[in-house]
Chains A and B, each alone.
Chain A
Amino acid sequence: MSDDGTDSSDGTDPDAGSAAASDADPPENDSHRFDRLPATAGDRVVPGRPTRNEVIEWWDDRYGIPPSTWESHTFWERGNGKLWAFAGDVVSPVDAEGLGLRILRTRQEHWKPSTNAVQRFGPEATRNVVTLDGEEAARFARGDDQDLPRWDGDWGYVIAAHDIAGGVEPIGVGLYLHGELRSTVPKGRREDLRS
């Protein structure tokens, strides 16, 4: 099961393919190498690399996820723009097959969160959360796109959620455009579930 790229391989990523053309590539593209993000733009050495502050602000601006959520996490870039959140801290760069949870694809106009990131950190979100009913949630988990004219929030990547066991729980990342909610649940995570 590939854990990279599956999120965008289904063609719902509006920036897929355009990232490399519009942003400078990092000097090193070794897929086993993880580099810790610089804290601020002033600390940045590798051109185009997002900073820790930008990442924390992005989750706050877009979803209202409080900056304190990330207090004990470090952020790492692997390859071109794939960001990982790690609960500890290790030497940088570090050569590994994985380091924490892949949370975000950057170095493209619209940053794209991963399904697993919104499932883990999305319960704290207060903005751009689309709460689906039973039928809609089942459709979304199957990976199906659907019309959803009732949404009057932002366009772009939203958190799709539903009510379960006494609370609202994120299902995954939706792409909302022109009255339609597209599911970006990766193939390996799709399920046919009860509505």
Chain B
Amino acid sequence: MQPPQRYASLVEDPDAFRAACGRPLPSVVRVNTLKTSVKRAREALDAEGVGYEPTDWHPGVLKLDERGPGTSWPYFHGWLHGQEEVSTLPALALDPQPGEVVWDACAAPGSKATQIAALMDDEGVVIGNDNNLGRLSALRHNAERLGVTNLAVTNQDARNFSLKPFGDRTRDERRIEEFDRALVDAPCSCEGTIRKNPDAFEEWSLSHVEGVAGVQKGILRRAVDATRPGGTVVYATCTFAPEENEAVVDHVLGGDCELREWEPPEGFDTDPGITEWQSETYDSSLELAHRVYPHRNDTGGFFCAKLEVTA
């Protein structure tokens, strides 16, 4: 069975789910607090007559009345970054602190990496990695436009990411050997982007889901291994398939990490992760993960789980 029917049994209101999947997505921007304040960004939009509405749950995330933030002064100044509303959640779950060392395993084109840098007040180190060189140049362009200075960019396969370039296994006092936090915003089948990419369901195949799940497991495993005990790992996708979500997290549980409770800001509605899918069962702690369905908050679809590394 193909999406969206494939997930009808998971949602309370399948008709609303299907209908929302067919509606275009509002254009949303995040205010870049490294270069301005929410107040000034809004003043600049007002002065230019660009209509917008702040989201109920985040004052720095604005829904534009019209499509495309491309041509306005506040955008030119790097005060705004076009970023889907739901895509601002994982960095909030990660909760990075100024001065920490944070890994963004799949970082291009950089929406979340630049948000992470802003949440850290541009202090500490964000290592933004991606295996796709072309997408990395978009990441660098975005980071520079937004004035980020704490981002180091690397081009590796995240599944066997090496810290050797950063002095791992040397005696250099500036070496980086492990991360305080890691974000895995994984490559996925992108079912949740159907409102932006109307082809997302047509291109869907079970074999792709199964193939990409293998990559996801490899990247999440590496993130848990590279993060210090007591550190945080967030796993996110923009897809509904349990094979790419709960099953991937379930795969790394057992021994050295556990799910942690995390609540999105008030006013943003999510559903709990599931513990059964077809013939599979997942650890009961997966209920602490969050599923975001498009009809709940008028956003794209999403999955987000917060883990703590315990050993």
B-binding residues in A (CB < 8 A): 1-3, 72-73, 85-92, 94-102, 114, 116, 119-120, 141, 164-167, 169, 171, 188-189, 191-194
Contacts and interface: CB of A to CB of B under 8 A. Distances in A.
B144 A193 contact: no
B36 to A, nearest CB: 8
10 contacts: A2-B137, A88-B125, A89-B174, A90-B167, A97-B136, A100-B148, A165-B40, A189-B76, A189-B145, A193-B71
A5 to B, nearest CB: 13
Contacts of B155: 97
B284 to A, nearest CB: 40
Contact of B47 (A102, A165, A171): A165
A119 to B, nearest CB: 6
A102 B144 contact: yes
B85 interface: no
B174 A193 contact: no
Nearest to A192: B71
A114 B149 CA distance: 14
A94 B163 CA distance: 11
A141 B76 contact: yes
Given A89-B174, A116-B145, 11 more contacts: A1-B140, A3-B141, A87-B123, A87-B124, A87-B149, A97-B154, A97-B155, A98-B152, A164-B77, A169-B77, A171-B77
Given A164-B47, A165-B40, A87 B122 contact: yes
Interface of B: 34-36, 40-41, 43-44, 47-48, 70-78, 122-125, 133, 136-141, 143-145, 147-155, 165-167, 170, 172, 174-176
Contacts of A1: 137-138, 140-141
A101 B144 contact: yes
A185 to B, nearest CB: 9
Contacts of A165: 36, 40-41, 43-44, 47, 74
By Cβ-Cβ distance, the 8 closest A-B pairs, closest first, are A98-B153, A120-B147, A87-B150, A91-B167, A165-B43, A97-B153, A88-B125, A165-B44
A101 B147 contact: yes
Given A3-B137, A90-B166, A141-B76, A73 B152 contact: no
A56 to B, nearest CB: 15
Residue in B34, B136, B143 whose Cβ sees the most chain A Cβ within 10 Å: B143
A96 B154 contact: yes
A114 B43 CA distance: 27
Contacts, number: 122
Given A119-B77, A193-B73, A100 B149 contact: yes
Given A1-B137, A3-B137, A164-B47, A94 B149 contact: no
Nearest to A114: B144
B141 A99 contact: no
A103 B230 CA distance: 36
A92 B70 CA distance: 38
Contacts of A90: 125, 152, 166-167, 174, 176
A92 B71 CA distance: 39
A167 B78 CA distance: 15
Contacts of A193: 71-73, 76
Contact of B76 (A2, A91, A100, A191): A191
Contacts of B166: 90-91, 94
Contacts of A88: 123-125, 150, 152
Which residue of A72, A96, A188, A192 has the most chain B CB atoms within 10 A of its CB atom? Answer: A96
A169 B35 CA distance: 10
Nearest to B36: A165
A90 B172 CA distance: 9
Nearest to B148: A101
Contact of A119 (B122, B133, B147): B147
A96 B40 contact: no
A96 B71 contact: no
A171 B172 contact: no
Contacts of B122: 87
